[in-house]
Amino acid sequence: EKQVYLFEEGNASMVKLLGGKGGNLAEMTALGLPIPPGFTITTDACKSYYKQGGRLTAELQSEIKGAIVALEKVKDCRFGDANQPLLVSVRSGSVTSMPGMMDTILNLGLNDETVAGLARQTASESFAYDCYCRLIAMYGQIVLGIPGFLFSRQLENLKLHSGRESDGEVSAGEWKQLTGAYKLLVKEHSGIDFPQDVDQQLNMAVKAVFRSWNNARAKVYRKLYSIPHDQGTAVNVQAMVFGNRGEDSGTGVLFTRNPSTGAKELYGEYLIHAQGEDVVAGIRTPRRLTELRENMPEVYDHLAALANGLEAHYRDMQDIEFTIENRTLYLLQTRSGKRTAQAAVKIAVDLYEDGMILKEEAVSRIDAGHLDQLLHRSISPLEELKPLAAGLPASPGGASGMIALDAETAEAWKRKGNQVMLVSTETSPEDIHGILAAEGVLTARGGMTSHAAVVARGMGKPCVCGCEELTIDADQRIIYLGENILKEGDILSIDGTSGRVYAGNVPLSDPEMTPELLKLLSLADEIRELKIYANADTPQDARISRELGAEGIGLCRTEHMFFSAARLPAVQSMILAESREERLSLLERILPMQQSDFEDMFMEMDGLPMTIRLLDPPLHEFLPNLEQLGEQLRRLQLAGGDSEEQKRLKRMIARIRSMQEKNPMLGLRGCRLGIQFPEIYDMQIEAVFRAAKLAVQRGIEVRPEIMIPLVGDPGELKELRMLVDKVASEVLGEAFKSITYGVGTMIEVPRAAVLAGRIAEHADFFSFGTNDLTQMTFGYSRDDAEGKFLNSYLDKNILSGNPFQILDQEGVGKLMEWAVARGREKKPFLQTGLCGEHGGDQSSIFFCQQTGLDYVSCSPYRVPYARVAAAQAVI
Ligand code: PEP
Ligand code: MG
């Protein structure tokens, strides 16, 4: 199998084999653009290098040699020849662009003899020895692992001693002297001499680039962007052109549009008398491209024409690397340019409006992360910041605030007008006020569907969870982030889009619904087939959802209405009630509160469906903490305080103990609660229909859908459907009979999926609760798995993705397909949707489209994202 392709043998469609850079170099060669000749070693060769235990096979070595011979013919010079030496660059080029993650070596082919040849050929000794120094330094760093600063320090010292301001002023003699020093450095640090054999140089460089696929930063980058680890990198070997040949030479980078705003203008930087990485390395401050127009107008015009031509050819904004050698322009690379979210949307819409791309293409150009960034305050991606630690990117956006170690502190500081960052080991529903008060949340434990994550996403608050490097010393009121120690009250910033954590304040940019974004979303709406609903628990959530384009509420978790400070005591007493009578009277107090929420929500959702789920979580989630109660009691006893209060506390403790379960998530919750304590559901249903009646009286169109959670048997749904119908008819009476409503069920217990046909007999709709369905199908606790073992499963590739984040199509997905098919057999018009956290994930939305669901429901701030993903699912 062929492992080496000359540029003229490939094209852009061979990206998988040739990598992005290699494919595009081949494409540009075919277009007749000024590309220095070269060849690409395939990603397959990289894979086989790893399979061989880090060896280049004899076949590969001879193919490389053959390609070098072809290059020699074109360039009319010889690799290793003392008079007419061929010099090459060796660069990585992965399939998915990973800017700056892997290595590059320039000027390969220089040795003590060829350097003299180069000097004669170019009539410049200083140029030739500058190139040689660069080679030794890059080779030293990349092949031999010698720290780069050891080389640059020597150059800086030399310049200091001889009073040179820039590299350009360094004399030939000084470069020669530096060559010697660099060689010595190589010998000292690696024990070997810098190789004079150019074939050995090349083989070692190719191996080093292959190895760099697995360096630490590349691995981290791949993990962050879900790039497969087995993709491998290609290697591009290309004849050198020199930007360091004096004032008529240079090197630069050019974007065909502004990468931060998307504006249609050439945007770039260059350096005179410079090579390769000099521009991006940021050692010298580059000049703006406008200066090139003044200094070398003919080169600028040529460059502008090529850039526009490339953009038209690729029909996307390009990021182009170029080199000018003695006023002759060469292109070294083109790729679709990285851009901010704002630019991405503007460019896609502009290209569509200019007739360059179809609406389907415009929509498919937007990637998930872009919409996240646009709809949340975010840390500018162009900012170069060093993170202290990283966790799971649980809820997108950037935030900064004073570290507060508990919800009470967070609330108190917020009340004083501070911005706070809630930092805790984990969060429970009781901390909701702390999350509300905070700008963002950072937790040490818990995964993407942990409480903190779900709640933060719902509120549009940035959240990083499962940050393993975080430990909290609650006594000392300090936190450890890796080796860093921070005090409560210090400022901390998080980026919930990348999962990174930073010390101090970081600059944030505000979200914006630009005209371009609205246009893009409307294009998506024209394409998509799935309806997009929102998971909204409050009137405010409902309003935001609607503003962001939700076509209904797919999940209103009514228990979230119970958590507010004003209501929790009544809810707790109701749960702890020792008799039905007591409970009924407490429920009566709760009913108007719940009703008023529903009234407001119906108003907001006028004309759109609103899926209201009856109480679901295990009751202990509402109850006060036993340890705290015990502590309170002990203190009271020690102080000999109020005996009535002591009795009350004791009763409460005993009652809570009696209600405790070993496996609450598999215990008394969902419809089981509704069957055990029908009066609770009764109250909730009554509140819904009273609110519906009032809304209708105010001229609002209501479309209530009552949803029963955690059904595993048709009998459960049958029983509770009767309850809904009974209460509805009582509340609505004859006068409001025209209010139509639906009754449906969550499919979140595997047995419900299996028995879907029979369950459908009692259901108007199915909503897949994929959080619980994943939990119960895998048998993994959704609250613990991510912190305990899931990460090592992912590291060991036992699982290819986190199933709480990305729907497990093989397992959970099969249950869904089965349930949809059986349900529709029974009821052709059965509505089907998904309302777990997966509703906000692209690949899961794709699966929903494929499975023929009617809708997906996600958190309000995720709605625009889901609109775009649903459109992409059709394309
Ligand atoms: C689910 O289980 O997927 C679901 C939506 O319900 P909850 O997350 O409230 O358990
Ligand atoms: Mg559930």
Instruction: List pLDDT tens digits, range 225-246.
Output: 778 888 999 999 999 999 988 8
Tell me: the pLDDT tens digits for 543-561? 999 999 999 999 999 988 8
Q: Quickly state the pLDDT bin for 431 (edges 50, 70, 90).
A: confident
Tokens, residue 193? 């001499």
With a cut of 60, say whether residue 259 has pLDDT above it: yes
Tell me: the pLDDT tens digits for 105-135? 999 999 999 999 999 999 999 999 999 999 9
Predicted pLDDT of residue 386: 84
Tell me: the pLDDT tens digits for 698-721? 999 999 999 999 999 999 999 999
Which runs of consecutive H residues, i.e. helices, occur in 213-321?
Answer: 216-224, 278-281, 289-295, 297-314
First-residue to last-residue Cα distance in the chain: 34
Q: Judge whether 556 counts as a catalytic residue.
A: no
397 CA → ligand 1 middle, Å: 23
Exposure string (b/e) for 401-434, b if CB count within 10 Å is 16 or more? bbbbbbbebbbebbeeeebbbbbbebbebbbbbb
The Cα 656–Cα 670 span in angstroms is 19
Estimate the crossing angle of helix 43-51 against helix 15-30, to 10 degrees: 150
With a cut of 60, say whether residue 282 has pLDDT above it: no
Interval 793-814 mean pLDDT: 94
Predicted pLDDT of residue 101: 67
Predicted pLDDT of residue 152: 87
Nearest ligand atom owner, CA of 613: 1
**Which residues touch 185 (CB under 8 Å, ≥6 apart)?**
140, 146, 150, 151, 154
Share of the chain above pLDDT 70, in %: 96
835 CA → ligand 1 middle, Å: 7
Interval 357-383 mean pLDDT: 81
411 CA → ligand 1 middle, Å: 27
For 175, 300, 442, the CA distances from 304, given in Å and listed in that order, are 35, 6, 47
The Cα 837–Cα 366 span in angstroms is 21
Q: What is the per-residue DSSP string for 849-873?
A: HHHT-SEEEE-GGGHHHHHHHHHHH
For residues 338 and 495, the model is more confident at: 495
Predicted pLDDT of residue 8: 96
Interval 864-871 mean pLDDT: 95
Predicted pLDDT of residue 450: 66
For residues 153 and 223, the model is more confident at: 153
Q: Are strands 233-239 and 287-288 parallel, antiparallel or unpaired?
A: unpaired
Interval 808-817 mean pLDDT: 98
- Its sign, for the CA torsion 88, 92, 96, 102, is negative
The Cα 730–Cα 685 span in angstroms is 11
* 387 closest CA partner among 319, 310, 442: 442
Which residues does ligand 1 sit against, CB inside 6 Å?
555, 557, 616, 748, 769-772, 835-836
Nearest ligand atom owner, CA of 555: 1
Tokens, residue 6? 């000359």
Tell me: the pLDDT tens digits for 379-393? 776 566 788 998 888
Interval 175-193 mean pLDDT: 96
With a cut of 70, say whether residue 251 has pLDDT above it: yes
With a cut of 90, say whether residue 448 has pLDDT above it: no
Looking up tokens 């010292």, which residue turns up? 157
What the chain holds in terms of domains, given with CATH numbers, is 41-239 (3.30.1490.20), 250-336 (3.30.470.20), 378-509 (3.50.30.10), 528-618+661-874 (3.20.20.60), 622-660 (no CATH)
Looking up tokens 């043998």, which residue turns up? 9
Predicted pLDDT of residue 24: 95
Tokens, residue 505? 């304040």
Tokens, residue 72? 């020699």
The Cα 394–Cα 464 span in angstroms is 5
Task: Report which ligand 1 atom has the smallest distance to the Cα of 771.
Answer: 3
With a cut of 80, say whether residue 280 has pLDDT above it: no
Q: Quickly state the pLDDT bin for 603 (edges 50, 70, 90).
A: very high
- Which residue type occupies 281? A
- HSE (CB half, 13 Å, CA atoms) of 136? 32
Tokens, residue 783? 């609250």
709 CA → ligand 2 middle, Å: 7
* 175 closest CA partner among 218, 129, 240: 129
| Cβ atoms of residues 443 and 481 within 8 Å | no
Predicted pLDDT of residue 397: 83
Predicted pLDDT of residue 375: 78
Predicted pLDDT of residue 267: 86
Predicted pLDDT of residue 224: 62
* 831 closest CA partner among 750, 742, 754, 718: 742
For 150, 397, 429, 432, 627, the CA distances from 426, given in Å and listed in that order, are 45, 20, 10, 12, 17
| Cβ atoms of residues 249 and 273 within 8 Å | yes
| Threshold 0.80, pTM exceeds | no
Tokens, residue 471? 């430990």
Share of the chain above pLDDT 90, in %: 72
C-alpha gyration radius of the chain: 32
Residue located nearest, by CA, to atom 8 of ligand 1 = 771
Range name among 507-511, 632-636, 852-856 with the lowest pLDDT average? 507-511
Q: Quickly state the pLDDT bin for 795 (edges 50, 70, 90).
A: confident
Query: Taking the mean position of all CA atoms in its chain, how far away is CA 11?
Result: 30
Interval 735-744 mean pLDDT: 94
Nearest ligand atom owner, CA of 455: 1
Interval 467-492 mean pLDDT: 92
Range name among 365-379, 672-686, 804-818 with the lowest pLDDT average? 365-379
Query: How many other β-carbons are positioned within 10 Å of the β-carbon of residue 47?
Result: 16
The Cα 417–Cα 412 span in angstroms is 9
Tokens, residue 567? 């209501």
Predicted pLDDT of residue 553: 98
Q: Quickly state the pLDDT bin for 451 (edges 50, 70, 90).
A: low
Testing ligand 1's pocket by substitution, the residue of 557, 614, 780 carrying the most ligand atoms inside 8 A of its CB is: 557
Task: Report which ligand 1 atom has the smallest distance to the Cα of 770.
Answer: 3
Predicted pLDDT of residue 381: 62
The helix (H) or strand (E) run that includes residue 634 is: helix 626-638
The Cα 787–Cα 453 span in angstroms is 13
Question: Annotated catalytic residue: which of 451, 560, 762, 838?
Answer: 451
Residue located nearest, by CA, to atom 1 of ligand 1 = 769
3-state helix, strand, coil in the chain (%, to 5): 50, 15, 35
Interval 711-738 mean pLDDT: 96
Question: Annotated catalytic residue: which of 556, 835, 848, 858?
Answer: 835
Maximum CA extent, the chain: 103
| Cβ atoms of residues 558 and 594 within 8 Å | yes
CA torsion, points 416, 422, 426, 429, in degrees to nearest 10?
Answer: 50
Look up the ipTM and state it.
0.99
Nearest ligand atom owner, CA of 840: 1
With a cut of 60, say whether residue 600 has pLDDT above it: yes
- Its sign, for the CA torsion 660, 666, 670, 676, is negative
Q: Quickly state the pLDDT bin for 430 (edges 50, 70, 90).
A: low
With a cut of 90, say whether residue 675 has pLDDT above it: yes
Range name among 558-562, 803-807, 860-864 with the lowest pLDDT average? 558-562
Q: Quickly state the pLDDT bin for 725 (edges 50, 70, 90).
A: very high
Range name among 8-22, 28-42, 258-272, 291-305 with the lowest pLDDT average? 258-272
Query: How many other β-carbons are positioned within 10 Å of the β-carbon of residue 204?
Result: 19
659 CA → ligand 2 middle, Å: 21
The Cα 629–Cα 637 span in angstroms is 12
| Cβ atoms of residues 697 and 657 within 8 Å | no
For 54, 185, 714, the CA distances from 191, given in Å and listed in that order, are 21, 9, 76
Testing ligand 1's pocket by substitution, the residue of 611, 707, 748, 857 carrying the most ligand atoms inside 8 A of its CB is: 748
The helix (H) or strand (E) run that includes residue 745 is: strand 742-747
The helix (H) or strand (E) run that includes residue 571 is: helix 568-576
Whole-number mean pLDDT of the chain? 92
Select, from the ranges 465-474, 602-611, 860-869, the one with the highest average predicted confidence (pLDDT): 602-611
Q: Judge whether 835 counts as a catalytic residue.
A: yes
3-class secondary structure, 69: helix
Interval 434-463 mean pLDDT: 80
